[in-house]
Amino acid sequence: MLETLKKAFSGVIEKIKMAELSEKEIERFIEEFKLQLISSDVAVEVVDKLCERLSEELSKLKFKRFTDPSSQVKEIMFKIIGEVLPLEGWVEKILEMIEEKKRGGEPFVILFVGPNGGGKTTTVVKVAKFFKDRGYSSIIAASDTFRAGAIEQLKKLAESIKIRVVSQKYGADPAAVALDAVMSARSDKIPLVLIDTAGRTEVDVNLLEEMKKIKRVVKPDLVIYVGDALMGNVAVEQAKRFNEYVGIDYAILAKLDADARGGAALSISYTTGKPLLFVGIGQRLEDIAPFNREYFQRLLTQQ
């Protein structure tokens, strides 16, 4: 997972440990770092920002006396990453929001949007399990009424964790299905509604319009983009489009376990201005991780 990104970071740390920090050498390290980030499929604006900040911080370091440069360089790296990828406790914030709505007797509603095959349906059920394990049961709306087999796939996954799915026929209005689910949750006092939606191979205006309509009708508390980490910059661009057209609050990247580059994970927050909430790290329903500081530091430093 994230092998090339790890290499880029450890490369800088290793080299600075071994070298005196002459202006020229710093420049050379940063140039190398830049190329590695680009080959990790990190978005250009994020590459520029990271290199600019690294250069600033390293030139400051030169004037300090230190014994172990590697720990200081490591610290600098995490500091500048934190500037492009705010790694706060987003999940804890959502748990508080769910609790607050629950106290008011209303279900908390999350709309999931994203391309076809990105991992949306699996992620919705993973999120249902994640919150169920923390005491919040949910109802899932089968609002992908477009793709053949979508409703059965969702029901089968949800059944395995004993979560109810509200569905209608294929071709039904996705917004109506979602509203049905919200009404069921309200009358049965279920605190959470998760809306699974359709994607398309191409993220086109029709799909974006459909999502916009569901959002307008259902008025969810949150909209979350789910993309495929393996798609790199394409996933980042898609998230941007969904954000501009529909408006998103968070992003989730599935399939990080299969992603050697890590560019999308590093770029998505900075380019969309929206936090990365979870990452999918496998095909089992427990394979989801809140994307916070501890998790990311562990990812980048473990062998």
Ligand X SMILES: Nc1nc2c(ncn2[C@@H]2O[C@H](COP(=O)(O)OP(=O)(O)O)[C@@H](O)[C@H]2O)c(=O)[nH]1
- Provide the binding-site residues for ligand X, judged by CB under 6 A: 114, 116-122, 199, 254-255, 257-258, 280-283, 287
Q: Is the CB of 120 or the CB of 129 nearer to Mg ion?
A: 120
CA pair distance 115, 238, nearest whole angstrom: 8
Query: Nearest CA to 207 among 101, 118, 114?
Result: 114
For tokens 């049905």, the residue is 180
CA pair distance 2, 9, nearest whole angstrom: 11
Quick one: how many helices (H) and strands (E) in the chain? 12, 8
Q: Is the CB of 87 or the CB of 254 nearer to ligand X?
A: 254
Q: Is the CB of 191 or the CB of 232 nearer to ligand X?
A: 232
Q: Is the CB of 16 or the CB of 125 nearer to Mg ion?
A: 125
CA pair distance 120, 153, nearest whole angstrom: 12
Would you count residue 72 as binding Mg ion (CB under 5 A)? no
What's 229's DSSP letter? G
* Closest approach of Mg ion to the CB of residue 181, in Å: 16
> Tell me, what amino acid is at 12?
V
For tokens 């039904």, the residue is 172
Query: Nearest CA to 91 among 297, 293, 225, 290?
Result: 290
Which of ligand X, Mg ion, none sits in contact with 282, Cβ below 5 to 8 A by type? Answer: ligand X
Q: Which two tokens stand for residue 111?
A: 């709309």
* Closest approach of ligand X to the CB of residue 161, in Å: 15
Which of ligand X, Mg ion, none sits in contact with 261, Cβ below 5 to 8 A by type? Answer: none
Q: Which residues from 97-136 bind Mg ion, rule CB under 5 A?
A: 120-121
* Closest approach of ligand X to the CB of residue 281, in Å: 6
Q: Is the CB of 120 or the CB of 240 nearer to Mg ion?
A: 120
* Closest approach of ligand X to the CB of residue 188, in Å: 25
Count the residues in the chain. 303
Which of ligand X, Mg ion, none sits in contact with 281, Cβ below 5 to 8 A by type? Answer: ligand X
Q: Which residues from 149-208 bind Mg ion, rule CB under 5 A?
A: none
What is each CA distance from 124 to 40, 81, 131, 276, 282, in whole angstroms?
27, 28, 11, 15, 14
Would you count residue 145 as binding Mg ion (CB under 5 A)? no
For the chain, the first-to-last Cα distance in angstroms comes to 10
* Closest approach of ligand X to the CB of residue 41, in Å: 17
* Closest approach of ligand X to the CB of residue 114, in Å: 6
Enumerate binding residues for Mg ion (CB under 5 A).
120-121
